[in-house]
């Protein structure tokens, strides 16, 4: 069955693009470096378990716990509580979530390599910087700037569909800039239109129409059958005269799917 680990965010800019600054529409990147990852997570040193991504966690040290008798994993995010046990007895990709809808760690399991005894290992979580936008220059802060990035949601599962999908800006930046999102105007499995440069708005895309901030106001996208993808846009607005620096400026997209 599909799970959150099969719901990928990818760059636009061509089949082999790995540069966020070139994610200006066009074909979805299909290479490993074309995924937009959220957080780094250190190797938990549990045989048969490989960490692919992490999202929604506080930075710091969490704990990944394996039960040999039940073939399950549980995740305790940094500063959070332990989530429900997830059966990982079958080879595949899994999303292991912390308690109280806490942060998530995404793993690939090779079931034949899992250890024969219980294991509890530390995992250090850190945010990935500049994975969507570049730094704001002094000139841009003085004059103001609009930046745009074209991204895709992909259902990477081999056979299951994903339905009732919504996305929104769960946490906007602590800085003076503002993030907005909008669905692409192209049909499912059709490439986003390419914009001239990162400061050129995509035609007919209205970022002010929704401004979703939670699930209730979230933007609904087409159900994704296995292998399907849907494009969307992210806009960053830096007002003229912005003079307050913000190091490690971050924002968080929220999304919900049913599988």
Please tell me the predicted confidence (pLDDT) of residue 249: 87
Residues 99-150: pLDDT tens digits?
A: 998 899 999 999 999 999 999 999 999 999 899 999 999 999 999 999 999 9
The helix or strand, by DSSP H or E, that contains position 254, with its residue range, turns out to be: strand 252-258
Q: Which of 256, 36, 52 is nearest to 167 (CA)?
A: 256
> Would you list the DSSP string of 193-216?
PPPSSTTSPPTT--TTTT---STT
Mean pLDDT confidence for 207-225: 94
Beta bridge partners of 65: 74, 120
Q: Which helix (H) or strand (E) holds 143?
A: helix 138-143
Do residues 167 and 255 lie in contact, with contact meaning Cβ atoms separated by under 8 Å? Answer: yes
E-strand spans in 30-112? 39-41, 49-55, 60-67, 72-76, 86-87, 92-97, 104-109
Q: Return d(Cα 19, Cα 23) in angstroms, integer.
A: 7
pLDDT recorded at residue 53: 93
């Amino acid at each position: 069955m599909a799970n959150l680990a099969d719901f990928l965010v990818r760059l636009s800019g061509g089949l082999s693009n790995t540069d966020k600054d070139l994610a200006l529409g066009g074909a979805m990147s299909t290479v490993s470096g074309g995924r937009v990852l959220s957080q780094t997570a250190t190797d938990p040193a549990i045989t048969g378990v490989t960490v692919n991504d992490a999202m929604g966690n506080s930075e710091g040290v969490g704990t990944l716990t394996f039960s040999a008798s039940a073939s399950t994993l549980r995740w305790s995010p940094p500063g959070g509580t332990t989530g429900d046990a997830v059966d990982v007895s079958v080879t595949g990709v899994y999303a292991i979530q912390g308690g109280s809808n806490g942060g998530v760690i995404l793993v690939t399991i090779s079931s034949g390599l899992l250890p024969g005894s219980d294991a509890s290992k530390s995992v250090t979580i850190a945010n990935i910087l500049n994975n969507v936008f570049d730094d704001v220059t002094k000139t841009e802060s003085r004059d103001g700037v609009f930046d745009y990035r074209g991204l895709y949601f992909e259902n990477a599962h081999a056979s299951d569909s994903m339905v009732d999908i919504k996305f929104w800006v769960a946490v906007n930046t602590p800085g003076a800039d503002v993030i907005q999102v909008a669905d692409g105007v192209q049909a499912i499995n059709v490439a986003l239109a390419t914009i001239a440069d990162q400061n050129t708005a995509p035609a007919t895309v209205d970022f002010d129409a929704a401004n979703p901030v939670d699930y209730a106001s979230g933007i609904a996208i087409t159900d994704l059958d296995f292998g399907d993808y849907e494009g969307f846009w992210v806009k960053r607005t830096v007002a003229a005269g912005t003079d307050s620096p913000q190091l490690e400026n971050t924002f968080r997209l929220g999304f919900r799917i049913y599988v």
